[in-house]
Each structure stands twice: as C-alpha cells, then as structure tokens.
Amino acid sequence: MKTSIATVSISGTLDAKLQAIAAAGYDGAEIFENDLLSTHHSAREIAAMMRDLGLACTMFQPFRDIEGLPEPQRARAFDRLERKFDVMQELGTDLLLACSSCSPLADPDRARTIADLHEAGERAAKRGLRIGYEALAWGRHVNDHRDAWGIVRDVDHPAIGLVLDSFHSLSRRIPSSSIGDIRADKLFIVQVADAPVLDMDLLQWSRHFRSMPGQGDFPLDDWADAIRRIGYDGYWSLEIFNDRFRAGSAHGVALDGYRSLRLMQGGIARPSAEAAALPPKIEPHGVEFIEFAASHEEADALGAMLRPLGFHPTARHRSKDVTRWQQGAINIVINCEPDGLAHAFDVVHGASVCAIGLTVADVPAALARADFLRVPRFEQAVAPDEWPVPSVRGVGGSLLYFVDAATCDAMWAHEFPHLLEPAPEAPLLTAVDHIAQTMQYEEFLSWLLFYVAMFDLGKTPQLEIADPMGLVQSQAVESANKAVRFTLNGSLAAQSLTSRFVQNYFGAGVQHLAFATDDAFAVADSAEKGGLPRLAIPRNYHDDLEARWGLAPELVKKMAAADLLYDRDGDAEYLQFYSRAFARRVFFEVVERRGYTGYGAVNAPIRLAAQAHHKPDPLTYS
C-alpha cells in the first residue's frame, strides 16, 4: 500500500508538517493550496524539501469551480488553471484535484461539464499533467461518485481521471459496490477519511468531524475492499479536516494517520490477499496483572484500601521490592523499587498504575503487530534470572506487557517465590472488569486508534456524560470475550473531574479500576467493615430508583446503605459502587453484572456529582 496524507490534516507550518509526515513513514504528501500560500518557501523550495525527505508530492489540491461557468468567468477559470499548472510543475507533482463545482453560476448541463473537463484535459496533457475529478458531497450538480465516474468515462481523455474520497461517498451512504464499475487506470488517487455517523450539514460534518480510519463509524473496510478489487494500486491518501488534530502535535497526528492506514491495510471484514501477510491484530485473552508504582508509605495506604476489598498480599518478587496481591483471577503488583520506570512514574505522577499486563496466545506476533504500527517498545535491563515479559508504551507513557497465556503460572512461580499470605479461598472479587483511562480531549481519538489498531477490540458508541463542571466524552473498547475492557474519557471542560485528573496527574493515566463480583452487597459489607472509604450517594438517587424501577423498598434501603448504584437493561441488571480516590487519583469500582453489558452510563453523572462534592475549593485549597 502506497501511503500519503494531505498537509491540511495536521497542525503547524508547511515545512514542519512535511517533516512530521516523513518521520511517520509516509511515501508521499498532498500539498494543500493554503499551506503553500501561507509559507515563505517557494514551490521549488518545497519540492526540494520533499525530495530530501523522501516524500513524493502526490497531488496539489484543491482546484474549485472549473466546469460549467459562463463567460467571462470560464476564461478566467482556465487562466487560473494554467497558473496552477505552473505551480504544480515547480512542486514536482503531475496531479491536480478538481472538485465538482459549487458555484451558483455553474450550468447543470452534463455535455457542458464534459466539454469543459475535456478542454482542461487537453491543456493538462500539453504539460504532461493530469487532473482528478472529485464529487464533493455538497457539489451543486455533481455530488455522487457514480455521476463523477460517468462524466470522467465520457470525457474519455487520458489526462482526466477520478478521485474517490471516502467521506464524500460514505457520508451520502453510496453503496461501495458501485465502485466495481470504475476502471482502475482512471482512478487517479484515493482519499481516505473516517467520521462518526452524525445527522448534520455535510459541509460542516466534513470540515470538523473527519477522523482517521478506525476512529469513526464509516464502513471503510468494504469501501477499501471494493477499491482493491478493481485492481487499484495507487496512493491511499488521508485527507482529514478535524479541529482536534489541528490543535494536536503534528508528529502525533501524522503517526496516528500512518497507523490508521496500516489498520485499513489489514482490513477487518474481508481481508485482502495482501493483508494475509501482515501481522494480525492481537487478540487479548485477559488482564493478567495491574502494576502500581508507589513509595513504601503509599504502598501501605494502597494496601489499606485493597484489604477491605478482599485482596491479600501473597508473595514478594525474587529480587525486587515488589509485592503481589491476589484475589480470584486478579493480580495487583505494587512496585516500590527505588529506580527504574516504576520509580520514575511514582516521582512524576505519584502512586498510580504504571503498567498493565495482558495475556496473549503469541507474544512474538503481538510484538510484530506493535512494530508494524510503530508503537514503541519499552526496553529495561533484565537480570539474568529474570523472566522476560516484553512491553510497549501505552497511554501516558505507561506500559502494556504481553504475557504468554500458556506460561503465566510458571512466570508467577518463578518471579514471586517468597510466599506471604495465602490467596483468599472464597474471593469476593473474581476478575478485572474494566480499566478506565483518562486523557486530554485532544488525545482521545489517538488512544482509541491505538487500541483498535493494535488489538482485536470492538468499540462501543461514543457517549457524552454530564459532570457537574462540564461534559466528558467517553467510549469503551472491548474484547469479544469481554475479558478485556478499557473505557476512555476526555473532557474539554477545565474543571471536570476528567480534566482535573489530567492536570493533577500530569498526563493521561488510569483513573479507576473496576472489579467484577458475583455479590456486590457482600463486597460492600466487607469494605464497610474493613474501613474502605466509600463514595457516598445521595438518598434522592435511591428514592428515584424505587420510583423508576418499582424496586422493593427493602432492597432499595439495602442499596442506599451500601451506596450502590443500579441500572437495568431489559432483564439485565447492574450493581456498582465506588471507593473514594486513593491519593486523590485512582479509585476503585465494584460491579456486579447480571447479564448487563454496559458501564452504568446513566449513573455516571450521579457518581461525578458525588465526586465533585469532594473537590477542593480552588480559592481555599493550596
């Protein structure tokens, strides 16, 4: 797959954009006209820069309103076209994107459109150049790639071809099967964008909500598959207009785009022949462990919260200052080492989750997938007798370990030989239910892509949750067996709990850990007896529960006494409660799913309001 990206997709000045595009590994870039107009470098200098960076100039774009104009506008448009041909020759590209006209002056007559494009083709051919015609979804007379293809076919000029842009086709729900009619030699370039499915004005949707493949809801695999089937082997070029990306780091967004094209290359629904040779997505079996970085003092405080939840410290590491806490299938590792990554993490963030271990069937294949996506590996010196567990960098610089599912028991036995207390025989908690990660709003889509490109995880629909201090965007990624679930949260509101976490934590990280139980009441009882500080839920909430669901007053009384939140979906029920935050950062959640598959989104505003109650007053808090 030959990869390209339009310079409009990322932030910064044109030269900085090109450097970021080259560093991310693309084969080429489309030069967006405004980027050229706003740089002090000449077109020739940009061409030289691209040559030095090893980037092909895949296209110059856009040229608007070429077809159907009356005189004298028509003559002016063709003069303008010749001027742009000059620029293209200086830039070193032979391809110009001409989008279907939006001009109120444009004549709807198809023969006129064909004649004008033919004329443009004649002029381009004289200079050895080509023009790709693109149907804008909001084009005045041509707004469907099927019509654009019919016109290109009938223009029948070697210098006139088609540009397909997934946004323009999929926002209008044009069936991808129609691509089968297009001749590959006439498809000059393919532009790729994803987007969330929204019911809104097409132009605004395109300008602000385009995203990288994998971050939105478009059926891009079918679309890409249809293009592959006609034999297209040209550039796949990202063209993403998104305010968030323009506010983000050019290098980060360029790398995300590269990963998204890799993701598309692999396909999901119907992988191409090429995809068969690529490292497949990693199928995570489960969460094997969660590692906290902490000082001894913090480790004691953390232990004081884990015990009432039913955890026991069961073993110490063979050589390091690391303790394993256990219960059911859950392993929590508390790392108090005086140096290394965990220590650095503790210094920067305070006691917090510095690593997550996921079990996988094939560790080398998992690493190959990470390499394929340019996800950086983490290397730390390993003692000669230490069990090697490879890892990559995840959210906020934390680590994701790949634990071999077949040998994980042997790993624990080898690494943690110094036994402490036995693991509880009748665990209160059975497994890690989900891991909630909080991040800046601008990096939300980046981490979403990280998870869906690297792992075989499905996305839930994106939600907006009301915090008393502003809105929070939330979305989950889940494995098919539901053993691995991450919820991602980001907020633009400066005082929302989400944003305060990111500020206080100095970056993105794990904000809460949810554990599964078969008996939330029993855990709440144990937690109460053990002195776990719980998040108090207002009585009004429980009064409303009783009214809303017709629950027995006795049951609701029990729920209220335990600060349990409740939700129902059909016959499925959900019970959950929260601890207060450890060190104002990480808190714990206990969930009992009775066939329920969500996360209690309806209760999130109640929880956030209860947490806001404990928010320090910025005027008095120091």
Q: How far is the CB of 16 from Mg ion (least distance, A)?
A: 23
Pair of tokens at residue 234: 């040209």
Q: How far is the CB of 60 from Mg ion (least distance, A)?
A: 13
Positions in the binding site for Mg ion (CB under 5 A): 165, 191, 239, 514, 589
Question: For residue 74, what are the contacts with CB-CB under 8 A and spacing of at least 6?
Answer: 116
Query: Smaller CB distance to Mg ion: residue 62 or 390?
Result: 62
Q: How far is the CB of 603 from Mg ion (least distance, A)?
A: 9
Q: How far is the CB of 597 from Mg ion (least distance, A)?
A: 13
Q: How far is the CB of 58 from Mg ion (least distance, A)?
A: 12
Taking CB atoms, the residue at the shortest distance from Mg ion is: 165
Query: Smaller CB distance to Mg ion: residue 191 or 437?
Result: 191
606 C-beta neighbours (distance < 10 Å), count: 18
Pair of tokens at residue 59: 């296209």
Pair of tokens at residue 226: 């249809």
Q: How far is the CB of 374 from Mg ion (least distance, A)?
A: 25
Cis before 62 (ω within 30):
yes
d(CA 398, CA 442): 18
Q: How far is the CB of 150 from Mg ion (least distance, A)?
A: 19
Pair of tokens at residue 290: 């969660």
d(CA 350, CA 219): 42
Query: Smaller CB distance to Mg ion: residue 214 or 600?
Result: 600
**Alpha-carbon distances of 518 from 56, 88, 317, rounded to whole Å:** 58, 66, 30
Query: Smaller CB distance to Mg ion: residue 450 or 577?
Result: 577
Q: How far is the CB of 187 from Mg ion (least distance, A)?
A: 13
- Contact status, residue 544 vs residue 556, Cβ threshold 8 Å: no
DSSP readout, 12-58? S-HHHHHHHHHHHT-SEEEEEHHHHHT-SS-HHHHHHHHHHHT-EEE
Query: Smaller CB distance to Mg ion: residue 193 or 354?
Result: 193
d(CA 526, CA 427): 11
Q: How far is the CB of 546 from Mg ion (least distance, A)?
A: 24
Query: Smaller CB distance to Mg ion: residue 245 or 402?
Result: 245
d(CA 513, CA 497): 16
Parallel/antiparallel/unpaired status of strands 429-440 and 485-491? parallel
Q: Which of 278, 306, 601 is nearest to 453 (CA)?
A: 278
Query: Smaller CB distance to Mg ion: residue 402 or 486?
Result: 486
- Let me know if 302 is exposed, middle or buried by CB neighbors in 10 A (0-12, 13-18, 19+): buried
The 3 state secondary structure assigned to 335-351 is ECCCCCHHHHHHHHHCC
Q: How far is the CB of 237 from Mg ion (least distance, A)?
A: 9
Q: How far is the CB of 586 from Mg ion (least distance, A)?
A: 12
Location of structure tokens 């042997």:
410
Location of structure tokens 């919820």:
487
Question: For residue 403, what are the contacts with CB-CB under 8 A and spacing of at least 6?
Answer: 288, 289, 357, 358, 359, 360, 363, 389, 411
Q: How far is the CB of 589 from Mg ion (least distance, A)?
A: 5
Q: How far is the CB of 488 from Mg ion (least distance, A)?
A: 11
Name the DSSP class of 92: T
Q: How far is the CB of 97 from Mg ion (least distance, A)?
A: 7
**Alpha-carbon distances of 18 from 38, 54, 97, 256, 520, rounded to whole Å:** 14, 10, 19, 15, 54
- Contact status, residue 195 vs residue 208, Cβ threshold 8 Å: no
Phi, psi of 144 (to 5 degrees): -145, 130
- Contact status, residue 459 vs residue 486, Cβ threshold 8 Å: no
Query: Smaller CB distance to Mg ion: residue 4 or 191?
Result: 191
d(CA 335, CA 295): 8
Location of structure tokens 């073993």:
315
Look at residue 609 and give its three-state secondary structure: helix
Q: How far is the CB of 510 from Mg ion (least distance, A)?
A: 11
Name the DSSP class of 360: E
Query: Smaller CB distance to Mg ion: residue 65 or 589?
Result: 589
d(CA 341, CA 338): 10
Query: Smaller CB distance to Mg ion: residue 193 or 322?
Result: 193
